Chains A and B, each alone.
Chain A
Amino acid sequence: MTDHILSQNTPAARDIDIVRSREARRHRFNAALRYALLTAVGLLMLYPLIWLIGASFKTNSEIFANPGFWPEHPTLDGYIKGWKTSTPYSFGTFFINTLWIVIPKVIGTAISCTAVAYGFARFEFPGKKILFAALIATLLLPNVVTRIPQYLIFRDLGWLDSYLPLWVPSALAGDAFFVFMLVQFLRAIPRDMEEAARVDGATTWQTLIFIVVPLLMPALISVCLFQFMWTMNDFLGPLIYISSVDKYPISLALKLSIDTTEAFEWNRVLAMSVLSLAPALAVFFLAQKYFIDGISSGGIKG
């Protein structure tokens, strides 16, 4: 019976086969086209970075003559002289300064944003709606409008030319975006475990540290990583607040290097650029999952 039907339908079956193989061919062609386009765009995107790495090992005369990656006469000149810089300090000083800005800022951000997000997501209190609206308003408020009075406040506090103006606002949950992201994340976590802990006599503080923080970890790591990246890249903050060269972070040191005598020592500037990008790149590749997750769940600017 089955055979009979099959043999009767042979022409139709053949048609289906033809259509299928045509579809498969179209699918393969389509995929090939996509791969070609994706690869081309990818190369175009990454080539400036690849070239940068190669160029940092080139001689100054080769940088503006050789569009290729491989240096004709590889040299470490750029790295050795660039590290010394034209200032009395080595580039190592600027690296340490950068870390000295970044690390306390990341820690302050993590602690304050967690506490504030916990407050918003788990408690009812007078004025909650207004405060949450204020959080969203801060999120949309362009920094440009608060920058000048902030500078005046820090001047009156005697904090100019120190890292305090860079640390303190973040330690007071000033990056509304991170608070918002953690609140969204917390709202999606069931409260059963916290309630059980409370019934067993834990304080809200203990509940936060021993139950909420471990659950919040993935989001918290995203927050730390983004704060790390943004602070490493921050230029305007240090530009306004830091005036002594010995306190300069990498971003200001690089700006200084293109302004001073090193302006014609291109390979030094490029070599130091490579070094200054290295920590961010390393962190990104070690933890890219958290970046992509953070950005697609919370939606991060960038």
Chain B
Amino acid sequence: MSGDNRFLGLFYLSPFIIGLLVFTALPFLASLYLSFTNYNLMNEPVFTGLQNYIRLFTNDRTFRKSLWVTLIYVFTTVPLKLVFALFMAVILNYKLKFINVFRTAYYVPSILGGSIAIAVLWRYIFADVGLVNMGLTMLGFEPVNWFGDPTNALFTITLLRLWQFGSAMVIFLAALQSIDKTLYEAASIDGAGKWTSFVYITLPLITPVIFFNLIMQMVQAFQEFNGPYIITQGGPLKSTYLLPIYIYDEAFKRFDMGYASAIAWVLFLIIMALTLIAFWSSRHWVYYAGDKRS
């Protein structure tokens, strides 16, 4: 059915092609150009070469702080979330009644978690006299100063994202359920314990899904905005001032579009580099069925 007209396919693709050119390709190149300019919306962009980047890396303590906080946030949140999601998926992957009830319950936070309402709720439950501290006091612990202490403040945002482990868990669970059970029987006849089976059978077989979740969660974590913007407003002492908030402030509060584009490009290059490293390293640790290598 493809033979009648070579260009019929392009006709169906036309919305995508227009969108790609106007809203993706053009902005992508434009932001690269803007990052080399001084542009404050009032006058035309003035080309300033590497000035924005030089300022970023030599003369901007806010940027250094923001970059550092972003990296800490991503490198704590993503591994914690993946490990927890996998752990819960393994627990759920068992002949249990009500498995669907649990799966649904765990998935609810993923549906709602990105909303402003939940960010507002988070502000309330981690307040000095909020739900979490009330709970800690009832259990005999000291209340924690969540928003006053720089380390704790960032952790409340990590907790908000950990709370949404459900979507990653559902993907893990689907992968676990597709593993051939006879592999475990064979291993158990050969004397393998549960842990050995998990490490040598389960983990290798779900590496494609681990890889997928890793990339998705990482790209998402680097762009975290709602949580810190609503819950902590970047504070205290800029301890939750993630790069997307800095970019937003520079672009839409100070209208320094050139400088904001430069920060956006640095963030983009970091995400790109880590994605490429993940793809490159995946040859060594991701196992695809039918692949003879492993």
Contact = CB atoms under 8 A, between A and B. Distances in A.
B2 A124 contact: yes
B173 A38 contact: no
B1 A195 contact: yes
B171 A295 contact: yes
A190 to B, nearest CB: 13
Interface string A257-295: 010000000100110111011001100100010011001
Interface in B110-154: 110-112, 114-118, 120-121, 123-125, 127, 129-131, 134-135, 138
B34 A148 contact: yes
Interface stretch (B58-66, B97-105, B179-187): B97-105
B91 A34 contact: yes
A296 interface: yes
| Consensus secondary structure, chain B interface | helix
Nearest to A300: B167
Contacts of B105: 42, 45-46
A45 B106 contact: yes
A120 interface: yes
B124 A116 contact: no
A284 B102 CA distance: 15
Interface in B179-218: 209, 212, 215-217
A46 to B, nearest CB: 6
A181 to B, nearest CB: 13
B124 A144 contact: no
A235 B102 contact: no
Interface string B1-38: 11000111111110111111011101110110010000
Contact of B96 (A34, A52, A174, A198): A34
B271 A142 contact: yes
Interface of B: 1-2, 6-13, 15-20, 22-24, 26-28, 30-31, 34, 88, 91-92, 94, 96, 102-112, 114-118, 120-121, 123-125, 127, 129-131, 134-135, 138, 163-164, 166-168, 170-171, 173-174, 209, 212, 215-217, 219-220, 222-223, 225-226, 229-230, 244, 247-248, 251-252, 257, 260-261, 264-265, 267-268, 271, 275
Given A173-B15, A255-B116, 12 more contacts: A34-B96, A64-B129, A115-B15, A123-B9, A125-B7, A131-B20, A140-B219, A141-B28, A146-B24, A235-B115, A292-B104, A296-B173
Interface of A: 30-31, 34-35, 37-38, 41-42, 45-46, 48-49, 51-52, 55, 63-65, 67, 112, 115-116, 118-120, 122-128, 131, 134-135, 138, 140-153, 168-169, 171-174, 179, 191, 194-195, 198, 204, 207-208, 229-230, 232-233, 235-236, 240, 250-251, 254-255, 258, 266, 269-270, 272-274, 276-277, 280-281, 284, 288, 291-292, 295-297, 299-302
18 contacts: A38-B88, A38-B96, A46-B108, A65-B134, A123-B9, A142-B267, A146-B24, A147-B251, A151-B252, A172-B19, A172-B22, A198-B1, A204-B1, A207-B1, A251-B116, A274-B117, A280-B112, A299-B209
